[in-house]
Amino acid sequence: MGDSVTTVVVGAGHAGLAASHFLRERGVDHVVLERGQVGNSWRTERWDSLRLLTPNWLSRLPGQDYDGDDPDGYMTMAEVVAFIERFAAGAPVRTGVNVTSVRRTDEGFAVDDLRCRSVVIASGACNVPVVPDFGDLGVHQVTPFDYHNPDKLPDGGVLVVGASATGVQLAAELRAAGRHVVLSVGEHTRMPRRHRDRDVLWWMHETGLWAQRYDEVDDLDRARRLPSPQLAGGLEVDLNTLTDAGVELVGRLATVRDGVALFSGGLRNVCSLADLKANRMLAGFDEWAGLTDRVPLEPTRVPAKPRLRLDLGGGEIGTIVWATGFRPDYSWLDLPVLDDRGRLRHDGGVTDIPGLYALGLPVLRRRRSTFLHGIEDDARYVVDHLIRTSRGTFDQSVSEAR
Amino acid sequence: MTVTDNGVNVQALLDAREALKGAPEAARFTWRATSKWDRGVHSTTTIENFYGLGAEQSHKAKTEFAADHPEVFAAEDNGITPIEYLLVGLAGCLTAGVASVAQNRGIQLRSVTAVVEGNHDIRGILGDPDVRNGFNDIKVTFDIDADASKADIEAIVAQSQKRSAVFDALTNPTDVTVEVA
């Protein structure tokens, strides 16, 4: 039998380390188990040019603000890793420990061989790229996990499927590298980088929209499934800038039949929906600021005749980039806490299994939950709850039992 | 305060959505049409029964739809052209969506008119392999009089497309099996 500890945190990304920050502050003995190195996903599962979507001045972790000389810039992945590494100082992290099982025990949980009273799942929301299965398509296929830069892709055109943050960024980068790019656009969240000369995230932050609590959101299920906004760290990228750059927009990839990709004829509608929602958000910012004039976005320009078919064997496309989203991996969790769609059931990070918590999931407790600066409130709440409801530390209860 | 009344029981729809969350089987519907050839390109299609909520269901009345071709196709024009039924379906579905979404958003409608036009190059059905058989494109133009801003009306129309069965069926491929019994 292995050793024991009061709390096990699974994952040493910013979420797990934020939990550790508050657990240390409250004197709860714990370990943070990390399959790779601190900030592993940021190190190994991101493309080369990616920058954080949040401006530096807003990139904070509990007790640690950005202290560089470019507050309006956006961190590179190396900078994010360094920022998280600095935050990890003093945290009881065990790296290279891949959790394969979490079970219930009489006294709490067993995380592989390690017994504990409580577990904080902070293993991330984006562990597995979601890729539709259309069988062998006869072209090179990559997910954002395999994609590094345009030079690493085989020659030829690229079909980018998905127009959320990942899809628009990769489409822009591939087009700038001279590739022929077709972008398949389904429902998406349009968000201009700047509104009235301020970063859109300044508005989200200052108006309080970003701090909106999960139990105040109208349709929480929907908010948690919302596609990531069409943002990039720095440059302005939306469907119009992509069209100007020569990217061809097509509708959602509906299916592949006989080697031909078939796209939905509903492109105009998903663009209208996104335009309307984005303008509503900006109008809300203006109202908050007491401004009566409006600066609506240029409507998304949809091609007069969007293509409905693309022959994947015709030589036009050499690679498909699946920017179709991610899902968490809970294959190691042997607890009845997933819903029928494989999502973790939780109420603001508190699951219905006493002692089992989650952090770092979309709109966990606030709209900003998955952003760096969004973790502080969530982690503090979860750790408070964990301490309030636990009946003492593991060692105490074991000695009491004796 | 005036109460919005577009004649749509939105509460029943919202309740159904909740109820079906725990009963996905009940959400499986099968719609049926039975068609009988009359003569020439004239046929009569009857719709009466369907399956849903776990049981056989019936409409209040049986409805018959005559399909034929117009005289410019050298036919007798005993009814509308089959492809025009797609326009009927799209118009009906989007309009129902507009009324429901408006009701849900508390917007009183006074009038809703939709003009639906489907462009069709008939060389396809006459055998030209380079021309598609079906519509080349479809355009729907809504004229809506309601107590709402233009942006709100546009949002209703956009949401109606997002939730429309027929819009989806026309804009996305559907697997179709045709057999001889």
Which residues from B are below 8 Å from A269, CB to CB?
Answer: 158, 161-162, 167
Which residues from A are below 8 Å from B176, CB to CB?
Answer: none
> How close A272 gets to chain B, by Cα (Å)?
7
Structural contact between residues A276 and B151, judged by C-beta atoms closer than 8 angstroms: yes
pLDDT, position B23: 87
pLDDT, position A260: 96
Interface check for B151 against chain A (CB to CB < 8 A): the answer is yes
Minimal CA–CA distance to A94: which of A116, A78, A114? Answer: A114
Mean pLDDT, residues B143-172: 96
d(CA A45, CA A58): 23
pLDDT, position A398: 44
Minimal CA–CA distance to A153: which of A128, A178, A117? Answer: A178
Confidence at A340, pLDDT banded by 50, 70, 90: confident
Q: Which two tokens stand for residue A24?
A: 């240390």
pLDDT, position A391: 58
pLDDT surpasses 50 at A155: yes
pLDDT surpasses 90 at A183: yes
Record: contact B162-A269, CB cut-off 8 A: yes
* β partners of residue A121: A10, A358
pLDDT, position A151: 96
**Mean predicted lDDT score pLDDT of chain A:** 94
> How close A255 gets to chain B, by Cα (Å)?
7
pLDDT, position B14: 86
Interface check for B159 against chain A (CB to CB < 8 A): the answer is yes
d(CA A291, CA A317): 47
Record: contact B171-A264, CB cut-off 8 A: yes
Which residues from A are below 8 Å from B151, CB to CB?
Answer: 276, 279-280
Mean pLDDT, residues B54-70: 97
Which residues from B are below 8 Å from A187, CB to CB?
Answer: 162
SS3 of chain B: the string is: CCCCCCCCCHHHHHHHHHHHHCCHHHHCCEECCEEEEEECCEEEEEEEEEEECCEEEEEEEEEEEEECCCHHHCCCCCCECHHHHHHHHHHHHHHHHHHHHHHHCCCCEEEEEEEEEEECCCCCCCCCCCCCCCCCEEEEEEEEEECCCHHHHHHHHHHHHHCCHHHHHHHCCCCCCCCCC
d(CA A217, CA A209): 10
pLDDT surpasses 70 at A1: no
Structural contact between residues A164 and A188, judged by C-beta atoms closer than 8 angstroms: yes
ipTM: 0.87
Interface check for A338 against chain B (CB to CB < 8 A): the answer is no
Record: contact A266-B159, CB cut-off 8 A: no
Interface check for A251 against chain B (CB to CB < 8 A): the answer is yes
* β partners of residue B30: B51
> How close A231 gets to chain B, by Cα (Å)?
23
Record: contact B172-A266, CB cut-off 8 A: yes
Structural contact between residues A266 and B161, judged by C-beta atoms closer than 8 angstroms: yes
Rg (CA), chain B: 19
Record: contact A272-B154, CB cut-off 8 A: yes
Mean pLDDT, residues A10-15: 97
d(CA A389, CA A47): 41
Record: contact A255-B170, CB cut-off 8 A: no
d(CA A9, CA A27): 15
Mean pLDDT, residues A47-54: 95
Residues A351-402: tens digit of each pLDDT: 999 999 999 999 999 999 999 999 999 999 999 999 998 755 454 444 444 3
pLDDT surpasses 70 at A2: no
Buried-state track B128-158, b at ≥16 Cβ within 10 A, e below 16: eeeeeeebeebebebebebebeeebbbbbbb
d(CA A34, CA A40): 8
Q: Is the dihedral of CA B47, B53, B56, B61 positive or negative?
A: negative
Record: contact B151-A276, CB cut-off 8 A: yes
Higher model confidence: residue A392 or residue A121?
A: A121
Percentage of chain A lying above the pLDDT 70 cut = 97
Mean pLDDT, residues A32-46: 95
d(CA A282, CA A297): 9
Which residues from A are below 8 Å from B162, CB to CB?
Answer: 187, 269, 273
Measured CA to CA in angstroms, residue B83 lies from B80, B87, B94, B148 at distances of: 8, 7, 17, 34
> How close B97 gets to chain A, by Cα (Å)?
14
pLDDT, position B22: 82
Q: Is the dihedral of CA A91, A95, A100, A106 positive or negative?
A: negative
pLDDT surpasses 70 at A262: yes
Which residues from A are below 8 Å from B172, CB to CB?
Answer: 252, 254-255, 262, 264-266
Structural contact between residues A42 and A13, judged by C-beta atoms closer than 8 angstroms: yes
d(CA A244, CA B17): 42
Residues B70-127: tens digit of each pLDDT: 999 999 999 999 999 999 999 999 999 999 999 999 999 999 999 999 999 999 999 9
Interface check for B137 against chain A (CB to CB < 8 A): the answer is yes
DSSP strand pairing (A30-33 vs A93-94): parallel
Q: Is the dihedral of CA B3, B6, B12, B17 positive or negative?
A: negative
Minimal-distance CA residue of chain A relative to B21 = A340
Record: contact A265-B172, CB cut-off 8 A: yes
Record: contact B173-A254, CB cut-off 8 A: yes
